[in-house]
Amino acid sequence: MDPRIEKLAKNLVNYSCKIQKGEKVLVECVGNSGIPLSRVLVKEIYKIGGVPYMELKDNSIVRELLKKSTPEQLESMAKYELTRMKEMDAFIGIRAGDNVSEMSDVTPEKMSDYMRYLIKPVNEERINNTRWVVIRYPNNSMAQLANTSMEAFEDFYFNVCNLDYSKMSKAMDNLVNLM
């Protein structure tokens, strides 16, 4: 296992969400590229005594659902996801879709319904009532958009994401006082 993935998981669990023993944590991974990080997150959550829950989504399947979805169907799906989110203390989202244009052929009306009936109510619950973090995870699509090799993009990504943010936060305390 790439030690940078382990360090990122520790940062997300211990710094970003400050998971404590007994807390329920939903790890939601969109895209197969994020599976290695998801696996390490589950281990890290267990290691500190937390209770991980896992959701793996694929945008090509979500796309198929949305193309023929109804508002009633989306509201029903939202009830399920909202009930689960209300049980969580924290949320870690990994966005690792391989195709940034996967939803391009879903009509604007269907996307609007999706946002209104499912995404908005679930996100409001998560944002207002859990400790949460959502990150993009490096994959070929991101490397292509950055016009770089996958290896170079991963090096850049992990160098940025694995900074010591607690140390950086303490260093900023004096600047906060000036504001």
> What is the C-alpha to C-alpha distance for residues 92 and 36, in angstroms, rounded to an integer?
14
What is the mean pLDDT of the segment spanning 9-35? 97
Domains of the chain by range and CATH?
A: 3-178 (3.40.1830.10)
Q: Which residues pair with 25 in a beta bridge?
A: 52, 90
Tens-place pLDDT, residues 122-169: 999 999 999 999 999 999 999 999 999 999 999 999 999 998 777 776
Tens-place pLDDT, residues 25-53: 999 999 999 999 999 999 999 999 999 99
Does position 176 have pLDDT exceeding 90, yes or no?
no
Return the structure tokens found at 100. 């940034």
H or E element at residue 43: helix 35-47
